[in-house]
Structure 1
Amino acid sequence: MIDDDRIVGGTQASPNEFPYQISLRRLGSHICGGSIYKSNWIITAAHCTDGTSVGSMSIVAGEHSLSIDSGDEQYSDILSKTEHEAYSSRTQENDICLLRLSSPLSLNTKVNVVRLPAQGAETAAGTNCVVSGWGTTSSGGSTIPDILRKVTVPIVSDATCRDSYGATSITNSMICAGFRLGGADSCQGDSGGPLVDEGTNLLIGVVSWGIGCADPGYYGVYTQVSYFHNWVVGIAG
């Protein structure tokens, strides 16, 4: 069972702790996370937007509670979407999408951009990264939390991840993170959201897929952003 992802084993984030985090909405309801790349560009997962019309999507930046307005929120409709031309819904390869906003965000301490790693940069196994989102808090759960949550997970090597999922399932454009014994992971509703290096604050991954959530022996699989640096810059500058 391949699940779209959520935070398991984490804690509530502080308000605006992750100013680059956005909530992607479909017809007003939260469906995925995303990251602010520029004031008018969002990075998310292609599987979040695949088959969904631009007109039905919108984003909220500066969000903390999904139900209570703090006054820090900024809203925008989507002008266009660019899913990676080689995205595969079967294998989840190249699971990345750029959303162009119809109205640019006003950047401040509570709504701000995330930086990208260099093209081809590798993140060492053991590097601690933080993943955030409003996804469900248990494997198979359907209720999403109201408050943004976060969890710290270490990067694992491609070889270790392939031992779990099979040699052909984990491609060079993917990166894995989590614990062999499970207990902490992203989950349904976190998809498209950020995996950020705690040391450098670079956007290492986009929440993509996994088997279960925080299940022993299976890691969270993310789109490896460094693999797509040039693709992002070529479209969004």
Structure 2
Amino acid sequence: MTKKVCAALLSRRSTRGLLAGAVLAASALLPAVTAVPAQAVVGGTAATRGQFPSIVSIERGTGHTCAGTLIAANRVLTAAQCVDGATAAGLRVVAGRHHLSGTTPNQQTAEVAQIVKHSGYRADTHAGDIAILKLKKPVVLDGLYVAVADQPPSTAGAPTGNVVVAGWGATREGGPRSDSLQWVEIPMVTDAQCKTSYGSSAIYPGMFCAGVLSTGGKADCAYDTGGPVLKGHTLVGIHSWARGCARPNYPGVSSGISYYRSWIDANIR
């Protein structure tokens, strides 16, 4: 199941890309196919303009559906589920955006020339959930409202400590998109803890987890998919999926940039 069909996903759980299935008593009973895309920023704070100059809004159809991150003036990194089944002509990227309604000063809209989706992407498990959008024309990098994110080397491994997630997603499970860009800081969760939550078969190589295990209440939510997971100005992950939205014991799962760095470098040209 992917976030590509927002309306369908919303009807299948209270948030885009998230199934409303019952919480299983034992994590071992949770197979990989029950991995469900997470949603937007819950428990966060409104961002200031220019706070996240590398984040972009990805429009599919009539409006914002996913987020992404500029890794070059004409390249955007996002989740493969955000573009699954889409054509380049059916996507637009909006850089420098702060509010979804109206037009933000310095906002730039770019058409997509090509979608490069990871060949290992699987919609049922979210393995290989990464894609590059090649823009027809580069956006203007002003260094203040529109900028390129740094990337970690392939040797960096999963991040440690706290990370920051940002997006226009719902601020509560089942809620609508946020009109203004939001962000929240959350702690990393170990691979072992994440596998305890979801079952070891659900966590594939290249995935890492972050969230508040004990209480929940802070996480990405609907329409944040494909958006950045940051350590400072460095893009360390792409938000992929979770069970529910900021629920206790169900952290958000992201695709790690360092794990996919060789693939990114090979396909960014």
TM over 0.5: yes
The Cα offsets for residues 202-231 of structure 1, whole Å up to 9 and x where unpaired, read as: 111101000001101100000111100010
Match of 1:84 among 118, 125, 140: 118
Equivalence for 2:83: 49
Equivalence for 2:206: 173
Amino acid at match of 2:149: V
Q: Is 1:101–2:135 an aligned residue pair?
A: yes
Equivalence for 2:4: none
The Cα offsets for residues 60-99 of structure 1, whole Å up to 9 and x where unpaired, read as: 0000011132321011000000010000001100100000
How high is the TM-score relative to the length of structure 1? 0.95
Does the CA-based 8 Å contact 2:69-2:77 persist in structure 1?
Answer: yes
For 1:174 and 1:70, how far apart are their aligned partners in 2? 34
Alignment of 1:1-237 (within 5 A): 1=19, 2-108=36-142, 109-125=144-160, 127-141=161-175, 143-180=176-213, 181-198=215-232, 201-237=233-269
For 2:120 and 2:168, how far apart are their aligned partners in 1? 28
For 1:60 and 1:105, how far apart are their aligned partners in 2? 9
Amino acid at match of 1:122: G
**SS where residue 200 of structure 2 aligns?**
coil
- Shift of residue 54, structure 1, vs aligned partner: 1.3
Does the CA-based 8 Å contact 1:3-1:213 persist in structure 2?
Answer: no
For 2:109 and 2:240, how far apart are their aligned partners in 1? 24
- Residues 112 and 217 of structure 1: is their aligned pair in 2 closer, same or farther, counting only changes over 3 Å? same
For 1:3 and 1:59, how far apart are their aligned partners in 2? 21
Q: List runs of 5+ in structure 2 lacking aligned partners.
A: 1-18, 20-35
Does the CA-based 8 Å contact 1:34-1:44 persist in structure 2?
Answer: yes
For 1:3 and 1:176, how far apart are their aligned partners in 2? 13
**SS where residue 147 of structure 1 aligns?**
coil
Count of aligned positions: 233
Query: Aligned Cα RMSD in Å?
Result: 1.1
Does the CA-based 8 Å contact 1:140-1:212 persist in structure 2?
Answer: no
Does the CA-based 8 Å contact 1:8-1:187 persist in structure 2?
Answer: yes
For 1:28 and 1:36, how far apart are their aligned partners in 2? 22
Q: List runs of 5+ in structure 1 lacking aligned partners.
A: none
Does the CA-based 8 Å contact 2:116-2:131 persist in structure 1?
Answer: yes
- Shift of residue 124, structure 1, vs aligned partner: 4.7
